[in-house]
Structure 1
């Protein structure tokens, strides 16, 4: 009896120890599995790629996602339409998926042309910090005129504060800087009708104009004066991207000597003034357009702008 009790006791002790040990072992296995899952989720999150899309607005974000899935077999995640903007943002699981989806850029969807691009942070590791964001916010505030609804970015590539913060160290950081600047300007919800990009060393391969069209497509007056643009392709890349563009300044660029004025006019359906010269009859243009706008004087010849920027006047 004693032995049985002892056996039972031994069994009890053995049962308790073995099962407690087993529970601890199982708990350890659970923790390891959870850690593996956490690492996998972190890896997937790190490898996700963000896309920025225009040309989807005639349908819902989900309908656009369904369209992408049918065409590419890639699922869009984290769909987010930017308020008061034509931009739709979404993520995909990998760079490979992003490269596949980007190939849809130029396709027609819901009676519009889709434009898709991969977006990134500026300047690589460490540059998308709160300090950099605050710097760009301050820069925008110093360059925005609310009365004229004008973002005056003339000569910003020569701004010593931006240079000292390393934002123009390479062509890559230069390009990413402007992308970030446009995003922050959009987030600030400023009303931008006029943009001055004069004297920024823009050449035929600069992407500033494309970025501007993605973030502020309703710009009416634009100066690209005194840059290094020599090819018509610089403008064909943004064909139909500025549907309200009324006045354009390209003086001081090599392209001015190449007799492309008529071709440039064709790219912008509402362009009325090019380098201070009327190129369309605005009254007739307004009469045939489905949403007429009032006839206005040349923006770049107002007294306020004469004081602000002599580069606009030819």
Structure 2
């Protein structure tokens, strides 16, 4: 890290006679022992006096060669080192990831981490294992998290800690969403609840701080209090090398480490603001101007402590190129203003702004220049979010009103008499499955429902990826379906005929279904119906109700002789949190003029051979959708009377 600028009034040259940079007054690399001690994580050691060793003491050489002096042998077992004792103790406590995390590369320490909270271990059978089952739980999570999204790279848990009924784990921002998909998974007979923990891992170190440590901590708090503007929500950390209180504490004398002093300041901020929301509410803008920083790695702790800062001033520093800023490329996703004025990069790379705009998706102002408008940011965010498939109105191509009759009878019977419904329309080859979508968009004014009555039967292929589990959740035959339906909560659907606006129903013919009699090897014709809508259900054994959205797809085929003429070949139900159906696009009838209708009449008559009168009837039935009218003609051609054609067919 480049040194900070000299203190006010100082005339000392930036370099000594030897040509080496002078580290006084700036954030620079520590090269020797100083008055302040730093722990292994880079924070101030608040109890340094208790751990300081004599400067003349020598550490024993554990790598002596055979040519060195002979060592005395002993019949006793060698005493384990302090490091080995720590590793053994962590293993006994079940904190397995702390051991493996030692082997994680230094680069992983700079990655933004997400803290997750896992509940359910204590209720599992693994809780009786040595170490409380933590090691088994971590192995299970890392192994299972690869499967839901077909992830080929390994999923890694960086740290873990058992605290009460929870196991806290940390993972990278890339791995955390994959781990969250394991929410509601079964582990050793217990259901896991995995959620984000914005408060981070609880501090289990209850050792009281020494008086020296408390004094240093209070002094750093005092520094922060004088540099915080509560009205502007601004934390002003500019020109730290000129701060009299920090200089009095000795941070810029000799070969002290201002870089680690900065990390200590961030550690104090973490103690002042306990949650991510508290940080967002208190700190909107931060200034680091005039600190001679030449690489963001030197102030990386800023992005860990305040990842949601909106305005950041890095002017009057020593950033020379994009490489010096690149480690922040995937961080500070809420940044709207970034000032890099009076940095060497402005001269060395005048086009740096074009690249940095792509790094920060919400950036509006870069070094005093507007690079986006709020409307552009909102449009980009909307484009990046998944959107439902647009609905242009139902595609309802029924044959002899079979689909209409089935669906209007099905919904009331499902609400009132599921047993008789299954007996009438389902047979021994019929299949039924249910899938729960817990992550679908939902109405903000409707409370999210619970899924306890559905989740254990869910066949959602994004969650259930092992063939045996999928097969177990596919119910085949009328008896299995009747038995399963009794376990589902009672429902109440809106009246289909009176409240048609609460549904979208698609219906069209399908070919090649299995012949229940076996006479036709090419299969028989049937129908596929998809209905989207809503229903209210009641939790079993209680009076608690919930509103949900659903999609249900039926495949209908001809029934076997002596049975109902219509049978359900397949029934797939998907349930999710309630959300109003998308508004259907206006029908083409309101936008097609008479001239266009005449052209469509002529073209349909030409392609089908029907008279204009029957072509008009066909187009009217399809709301003047030419493609749909043509498809309907080919499906019903055999039923159209001969007089509908200009020439005999």
Q: TM-score range by the shorter chain?
A: 0.5 to 0.7
Q: Counterparts of 2:84 and 2:221 in 1: how far apart (Å)?
A: 30
Q: Counterparts of 2:169 and 2:217 in 1: how far apart (Å)?
A: 20
Distance 1:170 1:74, change over 3 A: farther
| Secondary structure of the corresponding residue to residue 325 of structure 2 | helix
Match of 1:179 in 2: 263
User: How many Å apart are 1:164 and its aligned residue?
Assistant: 2.4
Q: Is the 8 A contact 1:226 1:251 kept in 2?
A: yes
Q: Which runs of 5+ in 2 are unaligned?
A: 1-78, 91-97, 102-108, 122-133, 144-153, 180-209, 274-278, 384-649
The size of the alignment, in residue pairs, is: 220
Match of 1:66 in 2: 138
- Point out the structure with the larger helix share: 1
Q: Is the 8 A contact 2:296 2:327 kept in 1?
A: no
Match of 1:252 in 2: 342
- Name the larger-Rg structure: 2
The aligned runs of 1:208-223 (5 Å cut-off) are 208=299, 210-223=300-313
The aligned runs of 1:150-229 (5 Å cut-off) are 150-169=234-253, 173-189=257-273, 191-204=282-295, 206-208=297-299, 210-229=300-319
User: How many Å apart are 1:160 and its aligned residue?
Assistant: 2.3
Q: Is the 8 A contact 2:312 2:337 kept in 1?
A: yes
Distance 1:74 1:224, change over 3 A: closer
Which of 78, 83, 104 is equivalent to 2:161?
78
User: How many Å apart are 1:276 and its aligned residue?
Assistant: 1.0
| Secondary structure of the corresponding residue to residue 235 of structure 2 | strand
The aligned runs of 1:87-166 (5 Å cut-off) are 108-110=175-177, 129-166=213-250
User: How many Å apart are 1:141 and its aligned residue?
Assistant: 0.6
Q: Counterparts of 1:253 and 1:261 in 2: how far apart (Å)?
A: 13
Q: Is the 8 A contact 1:245 1:271 kept in 2?
A: yes
TM-score by length of 1: 0.58
User: How many Å apart are 1:248 and its aligned residue?
Assistant: 0.6
TM-score by length of 2: 0.30
Q: Is the 8 A contact 1:56 1:110 kept in 2?
A: no
Match of 2:361 in 1: 269
| Secondary structure of the corresponding residue to residue 177 of structure 1 | helix
User: How many Å apart are 1:137 and its aligned residue?
Assistant: 0.4
Q: Counterparts of 1:109 and 1:73 in 2: how far apart (Å)?
A: 9
1:235 equivalent to 2:292? Answer no
Q: Is the 8 A contact 2:296 2:328 kept in 1?
A: no
User: How many Å apart are 1:43 and its aligned residue?
Assistant: 5.2
User: How many Å apart are 1:239 and its aligned residue?
Assistant: 1.4
Match of 1:44 in 2: 86
Q: Once the two structures are superposed, what CA deviation does each residue of 1:134-164 show, in whole Å capped at 9, x if it has no partner?
A: 1110011111111111101111122122122
Distance 1:235 1:78, change over 3 A: same
